[in-house]
């Protein structure tokens, strides 16, 4: 059995898979040699990567992130070119709903529109007549209190169909997949290079390591003194049966920042409701400081029997449907579950070289992994191979792990480490 690889990817979620595929295709066009291996502690995309909204969109407050997303959008549409397999999206577009308070909130969204247009991303303020036409007059609108934007290029995938495609892509591209393989620790060479990876199934040698373990990264790399500022934020998801006649095919994604939820059509006649990230400083602090969002609590696994949602959360989502979709009753609860966003203190990705370990590269999605998977795979494979990236407007400085060594971020990171940290005490007294 081969245990020597050019690159080992830790984590079999969508980012780990994308990185492995891109690298394998660039290393060996004939696909005759297993040069790349994925280590996954459970099964491929069986955890958080099977529990996400499936939404592909470009709008983002970070223009660099938005640029990446726009290019990833095109890559998803032409995924055969990059992975050797094909999957068709649902071309729905998205409608964004925000507060029209004539103050900071509305201005922020108008500024976002301007900045995205400068980056050639189609994100446009629309009228009540336009939104009624796009939604078949099925959602409640209030132009006095709300402001609306349309992103026509947004689209949807079914995460479970993508998961099947990932398995096929790994096989086609001769990537070795080791499921149920947990990283125990590492052996360093000369202090700044990983030489060996010890797992529950033996030792593996790798010239390069890509960390795509998301929220599990801190505990994996703690043994060699690498502090990775990633934690987990819980998210509730709810599915409701609604007549297909009432929600037409390709009904647009509704990004509702009034009700703090995403609405999307789901499979055959369902309305899927998914929370966006809570961006408040208090919520971010809790995610780093409190036990409920620990690795143990987030060790989810795709299994219909463990898809659960609380009574209170179910009622909350029913209220959201009544508020935003007043004409679609009756609607019937059809299951829900808890998933997690992996987050950083500033809610941005961690991409690129590690600060201290020369052959370690990070690919951490900060709760937005899926939509960026193909482009992040290309970026990481080019970094590992030390090739100049072909990605337009390429700049990773904003997402480098080195930013957490700057004084202001280092102060935050030091505050949230340990069970008795200052930030936890602060949050308990204020939240």
How would residue 291 be classed by pLDDT, with cut points 50, 70 and 90? very low
Does residue 303 surpass a pLDDT of 70? no
Query: Domain tally for the chain?
Result: 3
Q: pLDDT of 160-208, one tens digit each?
A: 899 999 999 999 999 999 999 999 999 999 879 999 999 999 999 999 9
Query: Using an 8 Å Cβ cutoff, are 223 and 318 in contact?
Result: no
> What is residue 299's predicted lDDT score, i.e. its pLDDT?
60
> What is residue 293's predicted lDDT score, i.e. its pLDDT?
43
Domain assignment present for residue 427? The answer is: no
199 and 171 inside one domain? yes
Q: Tell which of 102, 120, 152 closes a domain.
A: 152
Instruction: Kindly report the average pLDDT of the chain as a whole number.
Output: 86
Domain assignment present for residue 417? The answer is: no
Q: Tell which of 106, 121, 152 closes a domain.
A: 152
Q: Tell which of 322, 341, 360 closes a domain.
A: 341
- Give the residue ranges of DSSP H helices in 271-344: 281-289, 311-324
> What is residue 277's predicted lDDT score, i.e. its pLDDT?
75
Domain assignment present for residue 89? The answer is: no
279 and 258 inside one domain? yes
Domain assignment present for residue 418? The answer is: no
**Among 55-59, 228-232, 293-297, 317-321, where is mean pLDDT lowest?**
293-297
Q: What would the two tokens of residue 338 be?
A: 């808890």
Q: pLDDT of 387-403, one tens digit each?
A: 988 777 678 999 999 99
d(CA 146, CA 148) in angstroms, rounded, equals 7
237 and 226 inside one domain? no
Residue 288, CA distances (Å) to 24, 137, 232, 416 in order = 35, 42, 7, 6
C-beta neighbour count of 63 within 10 angstroms: 16
> What is residue 34's predicted lDDT score, i.e. its pLDDT?
76
45 and 164 inside one domain? yes
Sign of CA dihedral 107, 109, 61, 228: positive
Domain assignment present for residue 361? The answer is: yes
Domain assignment present for residue 146? The answer is: yes
Domain assignment present for residue 9? The answer is: yes
For the domain that residue 372 is a member of, what is the CATH number? 3.50.50.60
> What is residue 268's predicted lDDT score, i.e. its pLDDT?
75
238 and 311 inside one domain? yes
Q: What is the mean pLDDT of residues 269-280?
A: 82
Residue 130, CA distances (Å) to 102, 127, 138, 383 in order = 21, 5, 13, 44
Does residue 431 surpass a pLDDT of 50? no
Q: What would the two tokens of residue 111 be?
A: 């500024």
351 and 333 inside one domain? no
Domain that holds residue 166: 4-50+160-230+346-399
Domain assignment present for residue 407? The answer is: no
> What is residue 264's predicted lDDT score, i.e. its pLDDT?
93
CA proximity to 36, closest of 64, 59, 6, 61: 6
Sheet (strand 261-266) strand order: 124-125, 146-151, 94-99, 253-256, 261-266, 270-274, 231-241, 332-343
For residues 344 and 427, which has the higher predicted lDDT (pLDDT)?
344
Q: What is the mean pLDDT of residues 272-295?
A: 68
Q: What is the mean pLDDT of residues 215-237?
A: 86
258 and 331 inside one domain? yes
Q: pLDDT of 13-41, one tens digit each?
A: 999 999 999 999 999 755 556 799 999 99
259 and 305 inside one domain? yes
Does residue 94 surpass a pLDDT of 90? yes
> What is residue 29's predicted lDDT score, i.e. its pLDDT?
52
Q: What would the two tokens of residue 98 be?
A: 């925000």
Q: What would the two tokens of residue 193 be?
A: 């290079």
For residues 110 and 304, which has the higher predicted lDDT (pLDDT)?
110
d(CA 407, CA 218) in angstroms, rounded, equals 20
236 and 331 inside one domain? yes
> What is residue 412's predicted lDDT score, i.e. its pLDDT?
65
> What is residue 418's predicted lDDT score, i.e. its pLDDT?
45
239 and 214 inside one domain? no
330 and 392 inside one domain? no
330 and 196 inside one domain? no
Within 8 A by CB and 6+ apart from 1, the residues are none
Percent of the chain whose pLDDT exceeds 90:
55
> What is residue 33's predicted lDDT score, i.e. its pLDDT?
66
């Amino acid at each position: 059995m081969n245990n020597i690889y050019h690159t080992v990817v830790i984590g079999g979620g969508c980012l780990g898979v994308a990185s492995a595929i891109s690298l394998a295709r660039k290393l060996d066009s004939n696909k005759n040699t297993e040069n790349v291996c994925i280590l996954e502690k459970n099964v491929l995309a069986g955890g958080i990567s099977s529990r996400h909204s499936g939404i592909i969109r470009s709008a983002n407050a970070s223009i660099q992130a938005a640029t990446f997303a726009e290019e990833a959008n095109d890559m998803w549409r032409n995924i055969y070119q990059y992975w050797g397999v094909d999957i068709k999206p649902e071309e729905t577009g998205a409608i964004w709903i925000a507060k029209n308070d004539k103050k900071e909130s509305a201005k922020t969204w108008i500024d976002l529109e301007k900045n995205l247009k400068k980056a050639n991303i189609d994100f446009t303020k629309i009228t009540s007549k336009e939104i009624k036409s796009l939604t078949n007059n099925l959602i409640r609108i209030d132009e006095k209190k709300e402001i609306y934007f349309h992103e026509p290029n947004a689209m949807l995938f079914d995460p479970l169909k993508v998961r099947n495609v990932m398995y096929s892509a790994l096989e086609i591209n001769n990537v070795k997949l080791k499921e149920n393989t947990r990283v125990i620790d590492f052996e360093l060479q000369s202090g700044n290079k990983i030489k060996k990876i010890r797992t529950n199934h033996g030792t593996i040698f790798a010239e390069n390591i890509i960390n795509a373990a998301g929220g599990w990264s801190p505990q994996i790399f703690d043994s060699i003194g690498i502090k990775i500022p990633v934690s987990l934020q819980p998210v509730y998801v709810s599915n409701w049966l609604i007549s297909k006649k009432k929600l037409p095919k390709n009904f647009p994604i509704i990004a509702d920042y009034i009700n703090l939820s995403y609405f999307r059509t789901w499979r055959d006649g369902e309305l899927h409701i998914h929370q966006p990230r809570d961006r408040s400083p208090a919520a971010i602090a809790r995610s780093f400081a409190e036990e409920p969002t620990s690795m143990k609590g987030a060790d989810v696994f795709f299994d219909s029997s463990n898809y659960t949602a609380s009574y209170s959360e179910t009622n909350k989502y029913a209220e959201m449907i009544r508020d935003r979709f007043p004409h679609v009753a009756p609607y019937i609860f059809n299951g829900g579950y808890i998933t997690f966003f992996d987050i950083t203190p500033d809610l941005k990705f961690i991409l690129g070289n590690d600060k201290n370990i020369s052959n370690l590269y990070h690919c951490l999605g900060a709760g937005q992994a899926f939509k960026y998977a193909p482009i992040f795979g290309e970026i990481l494979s080019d970094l590992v191979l030390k090739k100049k990236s072909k990605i337009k407007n390429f700049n990773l400085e904003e997402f480098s792990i080195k930013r957490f060594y700057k004084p202001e971020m280092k102060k935050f990171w030091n505050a949230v480490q340990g069970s008795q940290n200052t930030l936890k005490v602060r949050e308990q007294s204020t939240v």
